[in-house]
Structure 1
């Protein structure tokens, strides 16, 4: 077994007896299929120091624990009798850490061999004594084909101001369903419909990023519909040689782009297929290069769904660190109490980063610490679980960390928006003579109830943050950015 992952320290280029410098903490819940690539990559880390690896098992019902015992005896497993979420699961280990640094890693992330060494390096560089945390570059695990779509739009009605193009209900690559893995941020309005059969309305033009094999010809299949028959133009980069995809194909005259004119036959879904040759470039896509908070209080991943062209190749200070792949001074973490257990999932890293900064420490992004990440492998984006925790925890975070005007505005706006959504839903149901879709409203009411239950605790923690802070809240909000 490589020394790099040994729980007694070890590390490439260091002896077994050396006291480890860092502890890698990985939270796992039913991730037996995710852990081997992650831990195999951890074992291959090339460092000049020792480190140890701990896995917190959040009451998994799969064979995670047995697999860890059999295949990874060098990993310390910390067992929880119940699912404590990302925040509580990490805290179960972090509160036991005695190394200089604590490093967080998702079970669905695969680090490059020099990830850990590059992640910890800034602490020993000039100004490192003022660093509270370091965050690296997280890119999506697969590589992607960059496709541009353009089609005529229509307005669905007086109560929906969107300009809609085509409604996509299926995407396949070489016959394999990839609908949930496509990155739609620059093309669609987000997932709609039931979780078992989602669909996506496109805008009139935009970009979609489709995960594809590393090489070879790709057969792309699409199933879509629209308000009427129309043509969709699909284009991509590549050579300008002869097209071979059948009727409706054309090659860009003298240029690098290739495109296909594809039919949408009307309101009933129809399937089309496009063959894209292996000259179309594969690209890496950014998941996170540090975090930002918008002026209205929403957190966001910096660089999210941008094609990686080297635009984030320089180290720089950022407002927040990503919970997947961040390193932190353990002494500071113990002093701050690590994550807020009540957050369970989402915004816990943004809240912790805000508190790190309140103590006068900075957070640095380093591009050389690279992780490849399976996005939303443990929780489905825009699922009720996702929406509940992101909505509630944003309000909890602002109540704790933001200035009073920002926190009060965000908290007051949420029930008003909930009431507006409920009224609009009832009106739409009345006009359509159908049962209104009340689940989104009920979910928001659940958010409000949970927030109110936790409000007294958050006020107490706000006072504690203010009492120990060396940076004023208003000064920290200078980091917030406009949409």
Structure 2
């Protein structure tokens, strides 16, 4: 099934990613017949724009005047795109034949499916699942995200164990199919996040509004990962810890909010202490800075929580792993979802 005209728009957010565009855009064009392909450029200072204009005039180019980050970069771009479905696709993703059809068919068959992701394998190690998304995202009782196929730093080999169609808690922003009407109806990505955790927050809000998040194992892409901020970058640590707490505060039901937040704050401080012992002083400081930022902007986050709770249709936090993934991984040494 090729994309229907005006039906599916593949939107790639780019910031100084010329090397990725040269390497991966050809596969998107080759294997996405009938889809509109758009690159939204976040004020790149390399030759990305000139390259696209010269080599791919058929690709629509949306140019932002400043680097708006992942969240606002997509929010502003998607306001300018008319389609039934958006595909938020990282520039460092190689797509494969027939990657669009299985996902769109699944979403067309059930109007309650608002988001879906394909299988994500590691580009440099295709036999492994990739960190950012793997075979669909989950959440534990304390709000820690993990994936089928990836627990913390442990990546499973892909032996076909996730060649299924499965409802999940969240889908990766590296390759996210999303129903356009739902995306805009719920306000898009959280603008204050800039980057990191934004797809989990969006999916949580979409679930709370009564929709489904799905994984389609018949579709497969390969992701390089870490193209903008390496996992060892303290700013990435800051964004992950700040956005993780903010996401919990925005979306967690009131009945669960206080105990979960207390546990998470304690665990965050323990993580910071562990970083100090390991000599990761900048990362430990980033955790403390993240907590300070939440307190400084408490009024904003309270207003965002109120807005989200007013749209909530589900009264409880459903579809989560009932235990602690931190306990299972670090204390009980569990390494796969099947072991939990």
Above 0.5 in TM-score?
A: yes
Residue number in structure 2 paired with 1:133:
115
Residue number in structure 1 paired with 2:149:
303
Q: What does residue range 307-346 of structure 1 map to in structure 2 within 5 Å?
A: 307-346=157-196
Shift of 1:27: 0.9
Q: 1:480 to 1:456 in 2, by over 3 A?
A: farther
Asked whether the 8 Å contact 2:235–2:286 carries over to 1, the reply is no
Q: 1:121 to 1:422 in 2, by over 3 A?
A: closer
Shift of 1:301: 2.6
Equivalences, count: 318
Shift of 1:349: 0.4
Residue number in structure 1 paired with 2:125:
143
Asked whether the 8 Å contact 1:395–1:410 carries over to 2, the reply is no
User: Using the alignment, how far apart are the partners of 2:46 and 2:35 within structure 1?
Assistant: 28
Residue number in structure 1 paired with 2:333:
none
Q: Does 1:369 align with 2:219?
A: yes
Asked whether the 8 Å contact 2:10–2:35 carries over to 1, the reply is yes
Q: What does residue range 194-273 of structure 1 map to in structure 2 within 5 Å?
A: none
Instruction: Compare the two structures and name the one with the higher helix fraction.
Output: 2
Instruction: Compare the two structures and name the one with the higher strand fraction.
Output: 1
SS in 2 for 1:466: helix
User: Using the alignment, how far apart are the partners of 1:419 and 1:285 within structure 2?
Assistant: 30
Shift of 1:302: 2.2
Asked whether the 8 Å contact 1:384–1:443 carries over to 2, the reply is yes
Residue number in structure 2 paired with 1:38:
24
Q: Does 1:449 align with 2:292?
A: yes
The CA deviation string for residues 311-360 of structure 1, in whole angstroms up to 9 with x for no partner, is 00111111111112111110111100110011111110001001111111
Q: 1:460 to 1:44 in 2, by over 3 A?
A: same
- Structure 1 ranges of 4+ moved more than 4 A: 413-426
Asked whether the 8 Å contact 2:116–2:214 carries over to 1, the reply is yes
The CA deviation string for residues 277-323 of structure 1, in whole angstroms up to 9 with x for no partner, is xxxxxx34444111011111111232121100000011111111111
Q: Does 1:68 align with 2:68?
A: no
Asked whether the 8 Å contact 1:123–1:131 carries over to 2, the reply is yes
The CA deviation string for residues 109-131 of structure 1, in whole angstroms up to 9 with x for no partner, is 01112111222111222xx1111
User: Using the alignment, how far apart are the partners of 1:365 and 1:419 within structure 2?
Assistant: 33
Q: 1:412 to 1:396 in 2, by over 3 A?
A: same
Shift of 1:100: 0.7
Q: What does residue range 468-479 of structure 1 map to in structure 2 within 5 Å?
A: 468-472=311-315, 474=316, 476-479=317-320
Q: Does 1:293 align with 2:105?
A: no
User: Using the alignment, how far apart are the partners of 1:454 and 1:290 within structure 2?
Assistant: 31
User: Root-mean-square deviation (CA), in Å?
Assistant: 2.6
Q: 1:76 to 1:462 in 2, by over 3 A?
A: same
SS in 1 for 2:80: coil
Question: Which of 224, 228, 237 does residue 378 from structure 1 map onto?
Answer: 228
User: Using the alignment, how far apart are the partners of 1:115 and 1:422 within structure 2?
Assistant: 40
Asked whether the 8 Å contact 2:29–2:37 carries over to 1, the reply is no
Task: Using CA pairs under 8 Å that are at least 6 residues apart, name the structure with larger relative contact order, 1 or 2.
Answer: 2
Asked whether the 8 Å contact 1:292–1:481 carries over to 2, the reply is no
SS in 1 for 2:19: coil
Shift of 1:450: 1.5
Asked whether the 8 Å contact 2:169–2:319 carries over to 1, the reply is no
SS in 1 for 2:305: helix
Shift of 1:401: 0.5
User: Using the alignment, how far apart are the partners of 1:68 and 1:424 within structure 2?
Assistant: 45
Structure 2 spans left out of the alignment, 5+ residues: 326-340
Q: Does 1:28 align with 2:14?
A: yes
Asked whether the 8 Å contact 1:97–1:330 carries over to 2, the reply is no
The CA deviation string for residues 118-164 of structure 1, in whole angstroms up to 9 with x for no partner, is 22111222xx11111111101001236xxxxxxxxxxxxxxxxxxxx
Q: What does residue range 423-434 of structure 1 map to in structure 2 within 5 Å?
A: none
Q: Does 1:459 align with 2:302?
A: yes
User: Using the alignment, how far apart are the partners of 1:422 and 1:37 within structure 2?
Assistant: 38
Asked whether the 8 Å contact 1:398–1:406 carries over to 2, the reply is no
The CA deviation string for residues 411-468 of structure 1, in whole angstroms up to 9 with x for no partner, is 4346555666788999x89xxxxxx875344222211121123322222222222222
